[in-house]
Structure 1
Amino acid sequence: MVHNIFKGLGIALITPFQEDGSVDYKALIRLVEYQLDNGADFFCILATTGETPTLTIEEKSKIKNLIVDLVGGRVPILLGCGGNNTAAVVQELQTGDFKGIDGVLSVCPYYNKPSQEGLYQHFKAIAAATKLPVVLYNVPGRTGVNLKAETTVRLARDCQNIVAIKEASGNLEQVDEIIKNKPQSFDVISGDDALTFPMVSCGAVGVISVIGNALPREFSKMIRLQMKGEYDGARKIHHRFTDLFSLLFVDGNPAGVKAMLHEMGYIENVLRLPLVPMRIKNMQRMSEILKELKI
């Protein structure tokens, strides 16, 4: 039986760029070490927050190898591997280099909007193509299709190496339905920073976090307190960051967290088109909040 090892604070890792738009590998190394030193339990690399669609094949390979070498087995690594062409994802899983990778995160097919049966067959084919643990990723706001609770549970029961789902539907009723009906070996992971506190309270085992790029110590403390049943302390941390949660995504992801990391002195505030940096007025408000929080 395959079990989920992706628990606690997972970092949805950004890709830092230099002013000329090239990947800033030195900044990436500093950032990963900072996160490891401050409570990161696992990394999720080359996924949405990493601006992966804008990276070249060579850049993706270099980033993956750099992170694998840098982490050196200290925490698990989850690699983004998904798309809306099932055969292409299967081929990547069968022929790609997954050395040092502990599992794959596979997003629901986007744009072509498959039925629930289509989603089931897509993920079943992906699970059959790899021996690695598979974490499903449901984010209907980006993909245009919702992986319903009954389909998630069906996949969890039928595919041994589908071990978890990153749930970013924003639907707590759906999350609760999955947790209520899932097999014991299957877990729910929050895909929404702002909903992590209520989701963990319902039985989720952690988060794949955007804000964790910048504030790993604080966010991991919240999750650890919840896991110990200390909800009052965890709730205070959750409420402390409410304003940041709402501001983080107002100009798209990862514009908000890149602005935050720039303010903290870790990276240049550079994104690749079609994404652009956070608007000045929102950056100013973020700077004010960080000062209020003494960060």
Structure 2
Amino acid sequence: MTLTGVYVPLITPFDASGGVALEALTALVHQALDAGATGVVALGTTGEPAALSDQERREVLDVLSSVCRERRAQLLVGANSVEALRALGERPEVTAALCLVPPFLRPGGAGVLAHFGHLAQASPVPLVVYHVPYRTGQQLCADDLRLLAGLPGVVGIKHAVGGIDADTVDFLADIRPDFAVLGGEDQFISPLLALGAHGGILASAHVATVDFVELIALWHAGDVDGARRLGHRLAALSAALFAEPNPAVIKSVLHAQGRIPTAAVRLPLLPAGTDTTRVALQRVDELRNVPR
């Protein structure tokens, strides 16, 4: 199984009473899949899982499992412990678990490798490593990444290192055929695809799913000029959507589009500002008005 294409890490919409708006969440999943997404991510950081109760997390996962089963779509689920992974064995719809490199501890490359080896042995589903060093504090070199890619049960990586560095170039030059590299840094997805990435886990795809699907198709087809043009426009959109802590701006845009009942986020996040939302909506309009 090689993961490829666009995966939308879904927000958790809230209603006017502050509860999870499950109907709006259901609609968002269908919209993403209708627009060509390969699948969705449940309970990733974009979904504010730490701010949800256990019951709310179960309800979110129930909704996404049901839709993905109905649509035969891929479902990735954020899970970072043996206990959370084992619970996924009760959900046959789950394609893989998205597992964060251990944050804060900085155990070194060998510690990270041992950690994922332990998780993979215990997990009933394959793992996708989430590597985001500017959040976790743990850097991994190209050799570390190759060793992770060689672990049984590890099928991919969400690669979000803040740009394109030397280790990224080195790593992408030598990837085993059945291991997926999924870009997780929305602004840099186009150059990452140019270097050989298979797809992306892209929060910006909430508002431009069709366009990110097209971008991946253009790079995979070798249409360099078309991919570059679209990639520049999508990078500008992503910059606007991440101008404040994610997913505040995305939620504000979705609310302005009438797709979710409120733009609310939960603490410690704060709602996006009016000016930031205006710029993001302008970027969406610009993307729609450029001739293909």
TM-score (norm 1): 0.91
Tell me how many residue pairs correspond in the alignment.
Answer: 285
Give the Cα–Cα distance (whole angstroms) in 2 for the partners of residues 101 and 290 of structure 1. 31
Identity %: 32
TM-score (norm 2): 0.92
Give the Cα–Cα distance (whole angstroms) in 1 for the partners of residues 42 and 167 of structure 2. 26
Q: Cα offset for 1:118?
A: 1.2
Q: Structure 1: any 5+ residue segments left out of the alignment?
A: 83-88
Query: What are the Cα deviations for residues 17-74 of structure 1, in whole angstroms up to 9, with x where unaligned?
Result: 1122210001111111111111111111111001111111111111111111112252
Who is 1:239 aligned against? 232
Who is 1:273 aligned against? 267
Q: Cα offset for 1:181?
A: 3.1
Instruction: Give the letter aligned to residue 77 of structure 2.
Output: L
Give the Cα–Cα distance (whole angstroms) in 1 for the partners of residues 163 and 141 of structure 2. 10
The answer to whether structure 1 residue 27 and structure 2 residue 24 are counterparts is yes
Alignment of 1:63-78 (within 5 A): 63-72=60-69, 73-78=71-76
SS at match of 2:218: helix
Q: Cα offset for 1:192?
A: 1.0
2:84 equivalent among 75, 92, 111: 92
Q: Cα offset for 1:255?
A: 0.9
Q: 8 Å contact 1:102–1:133 — kept in the other structure?
A: yes
Range with bigger deviation, 140-149 or 261-270? 140-149
Who is 2:182 aligned against? 189
Q: 8 Å contact 2:85–2:97 — kept in the other structure?
A: no
Instruction: Give the letter aligned to residue 124 of structure 1.
Output: G
Who is 1:50 aligned against? 47
SS at match of 2:28: helix
Range with bigger deviation, 263-272 or 178-187? 178-187
Who is 1:124 aligned against? 117
Q: Structure 2: any 5+ residue segments left out of the alignment?
A: none
1:7 equivalent among 1, 4, 7: 4
2:220 equivalent among 201, 209, 227: 227
Distance 1:294 1:180, change over 3 A: closer
Q: 8 Å contact 1:42–1:77 — kept in the other structure?
A: yes
Who is 2:241 aligned against? 248
Distance 1:178 1:98, change over 3 A: farther
